[in-house]
Structure 1
Amino acid sequence: MDVPPASPAASAPPAASASPAPVIRVRPMELADCDRVAEIRIRGWQHAYRGLMPQSHLDRLSVARDAERHRARFGQGDGAVVNLVAERDGEVVGWAAHGPYRDDVAGRTGDAELYAIYVDPARTGTGVGRALLAEAVGQCARYSCMRLWVLKENASARRFYERAGFHADGAEEPYDVDGVPVPEVRYTRSLRG
């Protein structure tokens, strides 16, 4: 899926000599993307969760270890988990993963889950996250709804999901990082109608 980024000033007329906006291309993740995806994921955690999680935990995160984890898992499983990357001008600038809802007992609910979505911190607010989320939602059309978990105190992420049609459904989960509670709330979006 190719998506032009959102215009920062929608009301301003385009400049006469303005070049076309770079296109965001969303595609399946490849093995060669593992290092860049790990960098985006770890830098994304360190950026988005600063002040929400213990800094000592964020400082211990390792791009090299995360890349190795991605390489070890790549191509395993039954294909139910889908990893996507977003590219702009040939550079991977975002990553998302989705598949069946993990808390679904024996496939009874028929729900999808967005497991992760991260954008290079230098590219936040440029349409990359919206493009990844739109593609993930589109690929999950066979499900009745999509669910995701987000840190309760992560106001910017919660606004992002709310603008995309998700709503907090009342479910909460305790989550603990280095002895510090960082609870998560569940968001849901219907994929029917």
Structure 2
Amino acid sequence: MNGREPVRVREAAEADLEAVAALRVRGWRYAYRHLMPREYLEGMDAAAYAARRRETFAATRETVTDLVAVDGGGRITGWAALGPCRGEDGGSGGGGCEEGEDCRDGELYALYVEPELIGSGLGRALLAEVVRRADARRMRRLRLWVAEGNERARRFYAAAGFAPDGARSLFDAGGTPVAEVRYTREPGGAGLTAG
């Protein structure tokens, strides 16, 4: 990882929620700075997100896996969340499995790393662990939603074996619609290494 110490990825604990929430806000502000209104991004509140997540954290532990990357000093430098697919038109807004669908598809809900560590291999290590866990849970496919204009993220996911599957959605960023595309990785998809 560019001469840095090896990445340590572990399951998140409730005590990590504040650090994860702060990382999430920094990640959004960095990744979407040219795609979403500045007022929307500046209005994001890490403390409010942590409080909301704390309310559901214990109840969703059976279905949602939160992973954190931790540096040698114990600082959380990355976060990813995996769970059941939220449905055909779920986008970032959620939704459920379609009626009659067997619901064996998984979804990567989020993957963020500290902006200064983008390109260091940290995101690949987190994604490799997400894929490993999805395979262990026998998820049929792994899906994710990405902002259409987020070219860096789209290249990252394509290099990891994900491809657009034709599904589209609109995310409401404070009154501004942001187009999202869904990417899918079939079982055993090529391209992903943790290195």
- Please indicate the TM-score interval, normalised by the length of the shorter structure: 0.7 to 0.9
Count how many residue pairs are aligned between Structure 1 and Structure 2.
176
Normalised to the residue count of structure 1, the TM-score between the two structures is 0.86
What RMSD over aligned residues (CA atoms) do the two structures have, in Å?
A: 1.5
> Residue 14 of structure 1 aligns with which residue?
none
Distance in 2, matches of 1:172 and 1:61, equals: 24
CA deviations 1:52-75 (Å, max 9, x no partner) are 001110010111112212222221
SS of the residue corresponding to residue 174 of structure 1 reads strand
Structure 1 contact 144–192 (Cα < 8 Å) conserved:
no
**Is 1:79 paired with 2:62?**
yes
One-letter amino acid of the counterpart of residue 8, structure 2:
R
Distance in 2, matches of 1:33 and 1:109, equals: 29
Gap change, CA 1:139 and 1:107, over 3 Å in 2: farther
**Is 1:158 paired with 2:154?**
yes
Distance in 2, matches of 1:130 and 1:118, equals: 11
Gap change, CA 1:174 and 1:73, over 3 Å in 2: same
Structure 1 or 2, whichever has the larger Rg, is 1
**Is 1:98 paired with 2:82?**
yes
Structure 1 contact 151–182 (Cα < 8 Å) conserved:
yes
Structure 1 contact 171–186 (Cα < 8 Å) conserved:
yes
> Residue 40 of structure 1 aligns with which residue?
23
> Residue 179 of structure 1 aligns with which residue?
175
One-letter amino acid of the counterpart of residue 189, structure 1:
R
> Residue 67 of structure 1 aligns with which residue?
50
Offset of 1:109 from its aligned partner? 4.3
CA deviations 1:86-108 (Å, max 9, x no partner) are 11112110110001111123651
> Residue 12 of structure 1 aligns with which residue?
none
Distance in 1, matches of 2:125 and 2:9, equals: 7
One-letter amino acid of the counterpart of residue 59, structure 1:
E
Distance in 2, matches of 1:139 and 1:178, equals: 34
Distance in 1, matches of 2:169 and 2:39, equals: 23
Kindly report structure 1 stretches of 4+ aligned residues shifted beyond 3 Å. Answer: none
Normalised to the residue count of structure 2, the TM-score between the two structures is 0.85
SS of the residue corresponding to residue 86 of structure 2 reads coil
SS of the residue corresponding to residue 42 of structure 2 reads helix
Structure 1 contact 145–192 (Cα < 8 Å) conserved:
no
Matches within 5 A, 1:100-179: 100-103=84-87, 104-105=97-98, 108-141=102-135, 142-179=138-175
Offset of 1:32 from its aligned partner? 1.0
Structure 2 contact 85–105 (Cα < 8 Å) conserved:
yes
SS of the residue corresponding to residue 23 of structure 1 reads coil
SS of the residue corresponding to residue 186 of structure 1 reads strand
Distance in 2, matches of 1:88 and 1:107, equals: 40
